[in-house]
Amino acid sequence: LSPAIPILYSDRGCPFAHRVLALVEHLGCPIEGHESALGEKPSGVFRHSASGRIPLLAHGELAITESRVMLEYLSETFDFADAYPAELQGRTLHRHAMAVVDDFFASALFRPSDVEIAGLRLDDAVRDLATATATVSPRPCLLAFHVAPIWLRFRVWHPNGAVTRAIEANPPLRDWLDAAVALEAITRTAPDPAVHRGDLARARQAGLLPSPSP
CB 8 to ligand GSH: min, Å: 11
Closest CA to 117 of 73, 75, 66, 162: 162
Rounded to an integer, what distance in angstroms lies between the CA atom of residue 100 and that of residue 124?
A: 9
Rounded to an integer, what distance in angstroms lies between the CA atom of residue 179 and that of residue 166?
A: 17
CB 50 to ligand GSH: min, Å: 11
Nearer to ligand GSH, 66 or 82 (CB): 66
Q: Which helix (H) or strand (E) holds 142?
A: helix 142-157
CB 36 to ligand GSH: min, Å: 10
Nearer to ligand GSH, 14 or 143 (CB): 14
Nearer to ligand GSH, 13 or 138 (CB): 13
Q: Which helix (H) or strand (E) holds 174?
A: helix 171-181
Query: Residues in the site for ligand GSH, rule: CB under 6 A?
Result: 14, 16, 53-55, 66-68, 102
Nearer to ligand GSH, 67 or 133 (CB): 67
CB 160 to ligand GSH: min, Å: 23
105 CB-contact burial (10 Å; exposed 0-12 / middle 13-18 / buried 19+): buried
Rounded to an integer, what distance in angstroms lies between the CA atom of residue 27 and that of residue 197?
A: 28
Rounded to an integer, what distance in angstroms lies between the CA atom of residue 96 and that of residue 129?
A: 9
CB 11 to ligand GSH: min, Å: 6
Nearer to ligand GSH, 26 or 68 (CB): 68
